[in-house]
Amino acid sequence: MCSPDSRSNGDGVVMIKGSDLLVAALENEGVERIFGVPGEENLDVVEALRKSRIELVVTRHEQAAAFMAATHGRLTGRPGVCISTLGPGALNFTTGAAYAHLGAMPMIMLTGQKGILFSRQARFQIVDIIAAMRPITKMARTIVTGSSIPTLVRDAFRVAMEERPGPVLLELPEDIAGEEIKDVPLVPPHDVPLPVANPAALERATQMLLAAKRPLLMAGAGANRPRLTEALSDFVRRTRLPFFNTQMGKGAIAGGSKLYMGTAALSERDYVHRAIDRADVILSVGHDTVEKPPFLMGPKGPKVIHVGFMPAHVEQVFYPNAELVGDVGPSLALLADRIEGKLNIDPAFTTLRGEILAKLQDRAEESRFPLTPQRIVHDVRQVMPEDGMVCLDNGMYKIWFARNYRTHVANTLLLDNALATMGAGLPSAMMAAMLYPERRVLAVAGDGGFMMNSQEMETAVRLKLNLVVLILEDNAYGMIRWKQAVDKFPDFGLGFGNPDFVKYADSYGAKGRRVESADGLAPTLEAAFSDGGVQLVVVPVDYSENIRVLVEELSRNVG
């Protein structure tokens, strides 16, 4: 098989540029778009992209490109691809790399480098990117010869996609990109069905679950892998196990199930912990200890069975007593065959469920202005259809959305409880809007986090995305201010001023609106969605509820 841009050198030998071979290898992997900011070292690749089926989407900061590529991986299971120049551009990928690495999102980063055969610019702009990226990628390699491109690209995609997924970096030096080489065949990708859990492991888990008086299921971050969600929902339908989820496990079990007990957004003392503390065995599906602990294991608490593609990490607060390791969907089906209809389901969970969910409705319709976080979450849910996607940045509201926002479809509340970086909300929503143009997509950000990548409003407008950005304005790094108060430090140093967000949005060619009353949020969001295009809505938030509920009220839930 020859690559599309190959040609004969006159002696019958088919020749191709390294950059054309790279782009052909990316097409071979089904890549449709590449996000980033090219530099002069990437120009051969840019030219190869011009002649290809792949769309080059330039962003206004490499960090946003990496967040978009990572989110592509998260939502589709296929790596998103981003491109940057050497040194400064590549370093701007580091936060996105860590986001994908901790969050288990498949992603390929392509970075340029000065020529390795000649060094005409001495050390200008040269940073050892491979070394810098090694701890925050699954693999980081320099391409040192053009003929290795097909195998390296195939291997990069394999490594990025296979469990546990994550980012891979390929660095392409300028001279290797421009070099004419003998064409080399591409490596066709193929599916690799994974092994399922061993019968001995299934038997052990079965015995523990059949002996349990009050079993519960927990859906963790891994439960939201695109290929798993149907199998997991099926397992819950068959076993009728009541369940809760971690923050990143939200939505993994489909439907408005009567078995949902809540989301463990905090590690202890929240209402959902009444159910967790009551359980004697927790079947933990896809939990990844990169997440802030959903509960703290101790000598007295429930026993845990880990179900995962990989063995569980052992932590001070999480050390499972049994494990089902293997392809999670088929393994769960085998487990359901053994336990269906035979489990003890504690009827007290039904009563508890009512109490837990009722608590979350508290103040959800209060007409205080500025709005309470509970009201904001409530109103957002009103305007979002079941398959609408809410993409959170990082700030105080994340805890409120994780606790209070009900999800019915997988990956409809995208949040990052792993790196928990600010700045990813808007780029992740942009990627969601590109992948699902028929759905409503809402980015939710604080006034701090939004400004970390707000320049991408231009990219969103240029791409003609349909997207609403909701900014919660408290003129502060609210979450840190909250922690400062919790730790009894005086209020100091965390406030700031803001631009006029309405004018700011308008200046990008987007449309800005400000919510002026408690009852104004839902209709303003509705109007923004109906108008289409890139819309920004700014809502003032009253964060006094953070202390009242998350500190004072919950601290009474001891024991």
Ligand X SMILES: Cc1ncc(C[n+]2csc(CCOP(=O)(O)OP(=O)(O)O)c2C)c(N)n1
The span from the CA of 454 to the CA of 499, in Å, is 11
- Segments in 270-385 forming alpha helices (H): 272-278, 328-339, 348-360, 373-383
Choice between 69 and 390, CB closer to Mg ion:
390
Choice between 42 and 421, CB closer to ligand X:
421
Residue 166 makes CB contacts below 8 A (sequence gap 6+) with 100, 101, 104, 105, 106, 107, 137, 138, 160
Any contact of residue 220 with Mg ion (CB under 5 A)?
Answer: no
AA letter at 201: A
Choice between 220 and 478, CB closer to ligand X:
478
Any contact of residue 370 with Mg ion (CB under 5 A)?
Answer: no
Range in contact with Mg ion (rule: CB under 5 A) among 10-18, 189-197, 438-446, 454-462: 438-446
For the CB of residue 528, give the shortest distance to ligand X in the complex, in Å: 20
Backbone torsions φ then ψ of 513, nearest 5 degrees: -145, 150
For the CB of residue 473, give the shortest distance to ligand X in the complex, in Å: 8
Would you tell me which residues interact with ligand X (CB under 6 A)? 394-397, 420-423, 446-449, 472, 474, 476-480
- Give 126-181 as a 3 state SS string: CCCHHHHHHHHCCEEEECCCHHHHHHHHHHHHHHHHCCCCCEEEEEEEHHHHHCEE
Q: Which does 318 bind (CB under 5 to 8 A by kind): ligand X, Mg ion, none?
A: none
For the CB of residue 376, give the shortest distance to ligand X in the complex, in Å: 10
Pair 185, 150: CB distance under 8 Å: yes
Tell me: cis bond preceding 141? Omega within 30 of 0 counts.
Answer: no
Q: Which does 479 bind (CB under 5 to 8 A by kind): Mg ion, ligand X, none?
A: ligand X
What CA–CA distances, in Å, run from 372 to 17, 272, 376, 378? 58, 21, 6, 10
Choice between 39 and 449, CB closer to Mg ion:
449
Choice between 437 and 495, CB closer to ligand X:
495
The span from the CA of 556 to the CA of 478, in Å, is 24
Residue 548 makes CB contacts below 8 A (sequence gap 6+) with none
For the CB of residue 396, give the shortest distance to ligand X in the complex, in Å: 4
For the CB of residue 445, give the shortest distance to Mg ion in the complex, in Å: 9
- Concatenate the DSSP letters of all residues of 428-490 into one string: HHHHHHHH-TTS-EEEEEEHHHHHHSTTHHHHHHHTT--EEEEEEE-SB-HHHHHHHHHTT--
Q: Which does 221 bind (CB under 5 to 8 A by kind): ligand X, Mg ion, none?
A: none
For the CB of residue 554, give the shortest distance to ligand X in the complex, in Å: 18
Q: Which does 68 bind (CB under 5 to 8 A by kind): Mg ion, ligand X, none?
A: none
Q: Return the residue of 112, 329, 446, 512 that touches Mg ion, per CB under 5 A.
A: 446
The span from the CA of 164 to the CA of 290, in Å, is 12
Choice between 420 and 465, CB closer to ligand X:
420
Choice between 319 and 496, CB closer to ligand X:
496
Choice between 327 and 474, CB closer to Mg ion:
474
Q: Which residue has the tokens 């340029």?
A: 112
Q: Which does 397 bind (CB under 5 to 8 A by kind): ligand X, Mg ion, none?
A: ligand X
Q: Which does 394 bind (CB under 5 to 8 A by kind): ligand X, Mg ion, none?
A: ligand X
Q: Write out the binding residues for Mg ion, residues 470-489 only, by CB under 5 A.
A: 474, 478
Nearest to 197 by CA among 324, 312, 307: 324
Nearest to 411 by CA among 368, 367, 454, 441: 441
Q: How far is CA 399 from the centre of its chain?
A: 16
Choice between 157 and 397, CB closer to ligand X:
397
Q: Which residue has the tokens 């103040």?
A: 363
Range in contact with Mg ion (rule: CB under 5 A) among 219-227, 244-252, 440-448, 509-517: 440-448
Q: Which does 297 bind (CB under 5 to 8 A by kind): ligand X, Mg ion, none?
A: none
Q: Which does 420 bind (CB under 5 to 8 A by kind): Mg ion, ligand X, none?
A: ligand X
Q: Which does 467 bind (CB under 5 to 8 A by kind): ligand X, Mg ion, none?
A: none
Q: What is the largest CA-CA distance in the chain?
A: 83
Which positions touch Mg ion (CB under 5 A)?
446-448, 474, 478
